[in-house]
Structure 1
Amino acid sequence: MIINKEFVLKGALNEPFKADITYSTDAEQKGIVLFCHGFKGFKDWGSWSTVAKYFAANGLAFLKFNFSHSGMGLDDSDSFTALEKFATNTLNKEVEDIKNVENFIHNELATDFPEINTKNITIIGHSKGGVSALLYCMHEATQIKKVCTWASPFDFHRSWNSKFIKKWKAEGVQNIKNARTNQMMPLAIEVLNDLELNIQKYSLQDGGKKLKIPFLILQGTNDPAVPMDEYNALKKNFPKASTHLIENANHVFGAAHPYTSEVLPEHTQELVSTTKDFILG
């Protein structure tokens, strides 16, 4: 039986956020996956719940969560109802959220759900979530055993060119359109200030010297959001990482939102199968 349990946790600035865990009572418990969504993403986007069931059926409990400043509220909406939080989200806040989730796994989940193997943790980040996952594993004390990125950029801020930044500084805010919801999503000047203050800390340059755990990079070759030069930069700066290209896959590996099928898209199936083998290998 596949079981799903929801929680409300506290993250950066003590802000609450939703999380849930999916696991199977029939499979041998081999570990737990901690999943980080991307920019303008959320834990229940598209096929992520179906992905969670896949890992659960293979003995890997799957814990996904909304970053505390992702813009998602505590309701069950798939719209962003907390844009004031989105406006001030930073990589530091996401790293702090991950730390709180890992602490939750060790201090509460391990006690309340002893049937789950919480000793073997793998962190997966999609898109921007991959940057946050890498920064966490590079800079924080953690018991996470492996890290995997799905369509992650090397530099999340690569598209913030001088014209964009000049306008941002002049107006104090930049608005980015969400094509799915048609919402204009604000970025406060605080986010730019944080980037400029932490430019070295947020850099993945020579990240392989700081990352001490196994790393798998997965990338689609037809990704319009994260082009192949980002993947190549990750490979170059993490030379010990394992890599896997999914031919013709896009940024979300063939999925869309909403996603109602219990069968994963072909590219997502390759994504999760390759990831599972990496975790259990």
Structure 2
Amino acid sequence: MSTDLGLFGPDSVSWRVHREPVLWLAGLRALYLQALHPRAVAGVVQNSDFRRDCWPRLMRTAEYVGTVVYGTTEQAEKAGRRVRRIHDRLRAHDPVTGEEFRIDDPHLLRWVHVTEVESFVSTARRARIGLTDADVDRYYAEQTRAAALVGLDPATVPASAAEVDEFYRSIRPELALTAEARDVARFLTVPPMPGRVVALGRPAWLGVATAAFALLPRWARRLYRLPGLPTTDVAASLTVLGLRGVINALPVRDGPIYREAMRRAEQAHGEVAA
């Protein structure tokens, strides 16, 4: 019986990309970007108490991504079913028209998916993880499997860098800096922290949030009414590269999902060798 290596496996670009702890920046970047879609941010604001639940919510999201990438096929599919059940019962109202819409509207799900995977892979490239253009296209194609878990038809999901660029081009007229987007962006930049860590944690988080924001595409920074200058891109790349070096030098322990994935990969290698 072959070992279940999950949706991707050790030879995938997805395993290479998500091995990097610096991708925490990418997750935060995706949240800044997602807030620019009026319906997407309205769905979050109207269906969650993110101000009180921010840290557990971030941890749950990180755990979900880790499970999808490194978990077994059964674990990934179970996580996807849980997300679909939650989304299935949620509704929100358009902040302009008042029209009710479903949180699992495929158009919104695609926006969230694309902003996530594009944030991951673009941050990985800025950190000089060593991805070729072909690797990036392969990553997007692999991640259509993750899109299927939340209920999207993989055939409708951008599966290359060119398709992601076209998706952004087509959706940009829908994006706007709403009051809710400004509120969420401020919250992401200065979230509440426990009193015992606020003195050190807040300056550190501000530095991380600033770096994540600077990683946004120039057009997204302009929507936030901030300059989309090339010099910002250069500074952001240098910051990510420096952070990657610092993080990789720390004695950071791998999580249990990753360790179990490595154990299964070694077992599968042994089965092939035998």
Identify the TM-score tier after normalising by the shorter chain: under 0.3
Larger radius of gyration: 2
State TM-score, norm by structure 2.
Answer: 0.26
